[in-house]
C-alpha cells in the first residue's frame, strides 16, 4: 500500500473506525441449522398429533378425527412445498409410498384401500386402535444443516395396553421463516420372521 | 429368512407388487438446491431493481424512489427472516455493516448518515447518480445446496456514461416455498492505491 | 460520493478496470449439490455391489464375499465419518438399527445374530440367496443441497427367479472432495398383512 | 391390521422388542452443521496464521514466510476442492478476484503484480508490514448448515502501533471428515470518501 498522505489519512480514519467498531452491538446470528432439540420436539409433536387424532375419533367420531388429522398434517408435513416421501407402516401394494396430503390423510384416518381392513371397517392408522401413549426411541440423529434425519422407533400403547413399535426414519427441513417440516417419513413394522 | 409357507406367500405378494410397481408413475423430485441459472436471475433482478429505483427518482422524485426501493428490498432480501449481512459499497463508519431493512432502505435512497454527501444532498446509492445500465460479471459461483455464493463485479453506467464497478459477494438462500432470498451482500469499491 | 478530483481519478480507474474485467475468464463454478443423476448412480452402485458380494460367495465362498462386502461398504457408506443410520431389511430385535461398519458387514455376509437363520446357516443378506438382478424403483427423490434423499424399492431377483422387493429410504451426503456417501439406509420388507 | 393369531404373535414380539429397545444405548448423533464457536475458531486461526507468516518474514526472511503461508493456506482454505472465491483487501485490476492456491500465496507473501508496491518491494499482505496483533469483530454470523457466513472486520495492529481494519466476509464449509474450510473470503478496505 502506497503511503501517500492520503493513505495515512485513510489509516487514521481506520483507527478511528476501530474505536467505534469496538463499541458495536453484539453479533447478529442468523441460523437455519436444525438442532437435536428441534428434532425431538418435532417427533414429540407428531406423537401428540397422533394421540389427538385417535382421541378425536374415540370421542367425536370420524369427521372430528379427519379435521384433526388435516390440522396435524398441515402443521407438521411439507406437502404444501413439494412431494413428501411418506411410507406408512401398514400400507401395502402400489400405493404404499405416497407423496400427497390426501395420501397422508387417508393413512391417518382412512378410508385407505392400501391398508388391510380390520373387520371390514375402513379405518386409518390413528383410528383402527385407540392410541393412548406414544414414546420416541431414537437410535441415530443426523444434523445435516437445514435438514436433519432421525432413525429409531416409536412405541405406541393402545387403550388395551397392547403395543406396536414401528421403526421410523424421518427427515426434517427448516424453512427460512423458522418453522420445521417433515419432508420424509418411512415407517415399517418390525420384520416378522415367521 | 425362514421359508415358511407364509414367507413363500409373502414372496409371491412381493412379486405381484413388483409388477404393479413397475407401472408406477414417474419419480417425484423435490429440490431445494439453487442452480447457477437462479443465481444469475437473482443478480439480474437486483440490477433491474436498482435501475428502477434510480429511474423512479429521476422521473418522480424521492417518495416514488423510496416506495420502489421498499418493494425491491422486500422482494429480494431476507430481512423478514433474520439479520441479513449487508456491507454497502460507499458506506463508512460504525454503521457500515447493517442488518436491517431500514439500513438497506437508507442505503438505496438515503438519507444515510454513513454515506458521504454529494453537495449536501441526502441521497442514496440508487439516487445520487442516474444509473441506466447494470451488468453482472461473476468470477466464482458456489452452489452449496440450499445456499449459493457468487463473487464478482457489477458494472454500472450512469446517464453521463461514467461507470462504477463495485466488487460484490452475495449469498442466496432458498426458501422451502421455492423463492430465493439474498442473505448476504458485501459490496466494495475497487481498492484505491493512491 | 464526493466528486473530488481524487474520486474522479477513481472513477477513471474503475472504467479502465471494467474494460479489463470484461476480458475475464469464464465463471468458476464450485458445487456441492447432489444431482438426481448422482442419486441414481449411487443406487446402481449399491445394486452392483450387492450382486458382486453374492457372486463372490457363490463362486469363492465366505472369505471372498466378506472381502468384497468390506470393499463395497468402505466405498459407499460414511462409516468413517460418523454414525450411519442403517436399518436392514430382515434384522430383528434390539440390534435392528445399527450405526457401525461391523454392523453393516455382519448384515451383508453374516454371521448376524439379529438375522433369522435359514436352515441354521449363518448367512447374510447378500449370501443367503444368490442374487442375480437388482433394479431400483424410486418414487421420490429429494435434492436437499449437499444431501439427497431417495425413497422407493429395489427389486431383487435370485437365481431361482424368485424376487424380493424391499422398500428403501436413502440419504446421500456429498463430501467436499466430490465423493458421495450413504449416511442413512432404511430398508423394510413390504408389510405382511396376514 | 388383520388380527390373525399370527398378527397377535407379531404384537407380542413387538412388546418384547420394546422392552429391549428401552435398554438401548444413547442416541448416536452425526452432525455436519457448523457452530458459531467453530466460526470464531476459524477466524482466530486465520489471524494466528497471518501473524505467524508476518513473524516468519521478520525473523527468517521470505522463504520462511512463504513456507509458513503455504501451510496456513493448505490448512485453512478449500483450494484442494474447488475454486475458492478470494477477493484480497489491497489487490487491484483484472486479477483482483482469484480462485487458486497460487493466487492466495502471492497475496500473502507476494510477489503479486496486482498489489501496489511499497517502495518497490515485492511484498504481500503479511510481509509488507509487521503485523503483531489481529482481532476479529464480527457483525453477523449466519449458520446455514454445512456452511456458515461471517461478516465483520479484522483489526490489525503493526509493530509501529498503526492499524488497518479491512471489512471481511467469509464462508466456511464443513467437510464430512469434520474439518472446516474457507471457501469464500472477500476483504475490502474501509471506503475512502476523499
- pLDDT per residue rounded down to tens, chain B (194 residues): 222 333 333 322 332 222 222 323 478 888 888 889 999 999 999 999 999 999 999 999 999 999 999 999 999 999 988 899 999 998 888 889 999 999 999 999 988 777 776 555 668 899 999 999 999 999 999 998 889 999 999 999 999 999 999 999 999 998 767 789 999 999 999 987 66
Kindly identify which residue of chain B lies nearest to residue C176, measuring between CA atoms.
Answer: B144
Q: What is the pLDDT of residues D121-130, one digit of tens each?
A: 668 899 999 9
Residue pairs spanning A and B at CB distance below 8 A: 86
- The residues that bridge with A169 in the sheet, in sequence order, are A151, A186
Contacts of A116 in chain C (CB under 8 A): 193
Work out the minimum CA distance from D98 to partner chain A, whole angstroms: 19
* Cβ contact A83–B30 (<8 Å): yes
Q: Tell me: pLDDT of D156 over 80.
A: yes
**Residues B10-34: b if buried by 16+ CB within 10 A, e if exposed:** bbebbbebbeebeebeebbbbbbbb
Residue of B nearest to D91 (CA): B191
Question: b/e string for A6-31 if b means 16 or more Cβ within 10 A?
Answer: ebeebbebbbebbeebeeeeebbbbb
How many CB atoms within 10 Å of residue D136?
18
pLDDT at C119: 52
- Which residues fall within 8 angstroms of residue A101, CB to CB, at 6 or more apart? A73, A74, A77, A79
Q: Which of B117-121, C139-143, D160-164 has the lowest mean pLDDT?
A: B117-121
Q: Is the CB of A176 inside 8 Å of chain C's CB atoms?
A: no
Q: Minimal Cα–Cα distance from B49 to chain D, Å?
A: 24
Identify which of B27, B20, D14 has the alpha carbon closest to the alpha carbon of residue A114.
Answer: B20
Prediction ipTM score: 0.81
What's the CATH fold of domain B36-188? Nuclear Transport Factor 2; Chain: A, (3.10.450)
Shortest Cα distance, chain D CAs vs residue B135, angstroms: 16
Give the model's confidence band at D14: pLDDT under 50 very low, under 70 low, under 90 confident, else very high: very low
B193 contacts chain A (CB < 8 A): yes
Burial class (CB in 10 A: 0-12, 13-18, 19+), A122: middle
Contacts of B43 (CB under 8 A, 6+ apart): B136, B138, B150, B154, B170
Kindly state the cell numbers that stand for B8: 413363500
Give the integer Cα–Cα distance in Å for A55 and C136.
40
Helix axes D36-60, D62-76, angle to 10 degrees: 170
Inter-chain residue contact A1 with D144, CB threshold 8 Å: no
Helices and strands (H and E) in chain B: how many: 4, 7
Contact D52, D68 (CB under 8 A): yes
In chain B, residues 36-65 whose CB comes closer than 8 Å to chain A: none
Give every CB contact of residue A7 below 8 A, 6+ residues apart in sequence: A1, B194
**Residue D149 near residue D170, CB atoms below 8 Å:** yes
Choose the closest CB to C30 out of D4, D31, D83. Answer: D83
**Does the predicted model carry a pTM greater than 0.90?**
no
Contact call for D83 and B140, based on CB within 8 A = yes
Contact flag A32-B4 (C-beta cutoff 8 Å): no
Per the rule left: phi > 0, alpha: psi between -120 and 50, beta: everything else, A170 is beta
CB within 8 Å: A30 and B178? no
Q: Which of A84, A176, A178 lies at the smallest CB-CB distance from B173?
A: A176
For residue range A10-38, list pLDDT tens digits in order.
Answer: 322 322 222 222 323 478 888 888 889 99
In terms of Cβ atoms closer than 10 Å to its own Cβ (0-12, 13-18, 19+), residue B108 is: buried
A147 touches chain D (CB under 8 A): yes
- Predicted pLDDT at C117: 63
CA distance B165 to chain C (A): 6
Q: Is A167 on the interface with C (CB under 8 A)?
A: yes
**Model pLDDT, residue C64:** 96
- Across the interface, do B18 and C163 touch by the CB < 8 Å criterion? yes
Phi, psi of B131 (to 5 degrees): -75, 130
Please give, rounded to a whole number of angstroms, the shortest distance from the CA of B89 to a CA of chain C. 10
Predicted local distance difference test score (pLDDT) of residue C92:
85
Instruction: Enumerate the β-bridge partners of residue A151.
Output: A140, A169
| Mean pLDDT, rounded, of chain C | 83
Residue A94: predicted pLDDT: 84
Return the DSSP state at D52.
H
Q: Which three cell numbers stand for residue A117?
A: 381392513
Mapping DSSP to helix (H, G, I), strand (E, B) and coil, where does residue B98 land?
strand
User: Does A1 have pLDDT greater than 50?
Assistant: no
D92 touches chain A (CB under 8 A): no
> What is the chain C residue with the closest CA to A183?
C142
Domain-wise residue ranges, chain A: 36-188
C114 Cβ under 8 Å from any chain A Cβ: no
- pLDDT recorded at residue C27: 87
Question: Among A120-124, C100-104, D111-115, which stretch is predicted with the lowest mean pLDDT?
Answer: A120-124
CB of D173 closer than 8 Å to CB of D150: no
* Residue A141 confidence (pLDDT): 95
Chain C: give the shortest CA distance to residue A141, in Å: 8
Does residue C78 belong to the interface with chain D, where contact is any CB pair within 8 Å?
A: yes
CB neighbour list of residue A35: distance below 8 Å, 6 or more residues apart = A143
CB contact A16 to D (< 8 Å): no
B1 closest CA partner among A23, A142, C125: C125
Query: Do A163 and D6 make contact, defined as CB atoms within 8 angstroms?
Result: no
Given a cut of 50, is residue D2 above it in pLDDT? Answer: no
The percent helix, strand, coil of chain C (3-state, each to 5) is: 35, 30, 40
Amino acid at each position: 500500500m502506497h503511503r501517500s498522505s492520503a493513505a495515512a489519512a485513510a489509516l487514521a480514519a481506520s483507527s478511528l473506525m476501530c474505536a467505534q467498531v469496538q463499541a458495536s452491538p453484539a453479533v447478529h446470528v442468523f441460523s437455519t441449522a436444525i438442532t437435536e432439540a428441534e428434532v425431538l420436539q418435532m417427533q414429540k409433536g407428531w406423537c401428540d398429533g397422533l394421540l389427538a387424532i385417535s382421541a378425536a375419533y374415540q370421542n367425536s367420531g370420524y369427521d372430528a378425527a379427519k379435521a384433526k388429522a388435516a390440522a396435524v398434517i398441515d402443521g407438521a408435513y411439507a406437502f404444501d412445498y413439494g412431494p413428501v416421501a411418506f411410507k406408512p407402516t401398514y400400507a401395502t401394494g402400489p400405493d404404499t409410498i405416497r407423496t400427497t396430503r390426501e395420501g397422508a390423510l387417508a393413512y391417518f384416518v382412512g378410508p385407505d384401500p392400501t391398508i388391510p381392513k380390520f373387520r371390514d371397517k375402513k379405518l386409518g392408522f390413528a383410528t383402527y386402535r385407540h392410541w393412548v401413549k406414544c414414546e420416541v426411541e431414537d437410535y441415530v440423529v443426523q444434523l445435516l444443516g437445514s435438514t436433519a434425519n432421525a432413525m429409531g422407533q416409536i412405541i405406541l400403547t393402545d387403550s388395551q395396553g397392547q403395543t406396536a413399535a414401528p421403526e421410523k426414519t424421518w427427515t426434517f427441513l427448516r424453512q427460512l421463516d423458522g418453522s420445521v417440516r417433515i419432508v420424509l417419513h418411512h415407517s415399517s413394522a418390525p420384520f416378522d420372521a415367521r
